[in-house]
Amino acid sequence: MDIAIQQPLADIDDPLPESDPANDMMHPIFAKMPASVSFNKLRKRLLRQVRQAIEDFGMLNGQKRWLIGVSGGKDSYSLLALLMDLKWRGLLPVELIACNLDQGQPNFPKHILPEYLSSVGVKHRIEYRDTYSIVKEKVPAGGTYCALCSRLRRGNLYRIAREEGCDALVLGHHREDILETFFMNFFHGGRLATMPAKLLNDDGDLMVLRPLAYAAEDDLAKFAAAMEFPIIPCDLCGSQDGLERNAMKAMLSDIERRMPGRKDTMLRALGHVNPSHLLDPKLFDFQSLFAEPKA
């Protein structure tokens, strides 16, 4: 693991040394950052969670150049800002390139992302691919576009990552995305699986990384609002997330409302799997399990 990420995680809470240039200036992406104590605590919490995910899942093992998918939503903007913050502090020794894929949705404001990324000095690439027309053609009237749209977007981002010489595609999926996907697979797919924080793509040449795996969606929404990111709405195509995912989101919100802290408990459970206490003979050799007779 890269030495830079092995610094004690508590360091992010300590005041920066007087000689540190970050005392006098920060990355331009933080120009509108509030000076409030509450925002500072929120920012530090998110930075800790991102660093913890990077460390826990070995995201820096051999990675030198990351392509960050930026859709214009709160999650991807927050991901970009937090990674730029860590890089500014010298805690993320990789090159970062932001990328937006303009998929041809009606009324997509093409100027917002390139103007914003240029204004804050973030290296970026804007790519146009009219996948919207393909989705409209393939999905029946009244259907949800999101699944096919996502697959087409991912394929193009893989291509762009290769063209840019990147070894990882970095996405802004957060705690709720991971939990919702788990329960969708549990209830509808009959399997225990979710979005992993680190995944090797099918071709075996790119890593897919999710540094926001431990971050709560509510925290990211507060962070994005405070930072005044120029948010692009996600419903320009006229379609919304499928009913299944919305049902999982509502279920998890209700559980959290009635039993605060359950989301974090469920997320921890995904990292503490005991195959001998499940029902999959491919993961545990039940056939060879015998009791020792007493003398």
Across 159-177, b (16+ Cβ under 10 Å) vs e yields ebbeeeebbbbbbbbbbbb
Would 295 be classed as within a structural domain?
A: no
E-strand ranges in the chain read 65-69, 95-102, 124-128, 168-170, 198-200, 207-209
pLDDT band at 148 (very low <50, low <70, confident <90, very high): low
Check residues 234 and 207 and name the one with the higher pLDDT.
207
pLDDT band at 246 (very low <50, low <70, confident <90, very high): confident
Would 233 be classed as within a structural domain?
A: yes
Check residues 111 and 149 and name the one with the higher pLDDT.
111
pLDDT at position 1, please?
A: 33
CA distance readout (Å), 255 to 75, 176, 245, 262: 23, 13, 15, 7
Would 114 be classed as within a structural domain?
A: yes
Question: Which three-class secondary structure state does DSSP give residue 286?
Answer: helix
Structure tokens at 182: 């788990």
pLDDT at position 236, please?
A: 52
What average pLDDT does the segment 55-69 reach? 94
pLDDT at position 24, please?
A: 42
pLDDT band at 237 (very low <50, low <70, confident <90, very high): low
The parent domain of residue 267 ranges over 7-15+26-288
Would 91 be classed as within a structural domain?
A: yes
What average pLDDT does the segment 233-248 reach? 70
Would 188 be classed as within a structural domain?
A: yes
What average pLDDT does the segment 210-226 reach? 97
pLDDT band at 140 (very low <50, low <70, confident <90, very high): low
Would 294 be classed as within a structural domain?
A: no
pLDDT digits (tens, 9 = 90+) for 24-59: 457 889 988 999 999 999 999 999 999 999 999 999
Structure tokens at 32: 């509108």
Would 59 be classed as within a structural domain?
A: yes
Q: How many domains does the chain have?
A: 1
Q: What's the mean pLDDT when you consider all of the chain?
A: 87
Give the integer Cα–Cα distance in Å for 90 and 88: 5
Would 2 be classed as within a structural domain?
A: no
Give the integer Cα–Cα distance in Å for 27 and 115: 17
pLDDT at position 182, please?
A: 97
pLDDT at position 20, please?
A: 42
Across 260-275, b (16+ Cβ under 10 Å) vs e yields eeebeebbeebeeeee
User: What CATH number should be reported for the domain holding residue 192?
Assistant: 3.40.50.620
**Lowest-confidence region among 46-55, 104-113, 142-151, 181-190:** 142-151
Prediction pTM value: 0.86
pLDDT of residue 131 exceeding 80: no
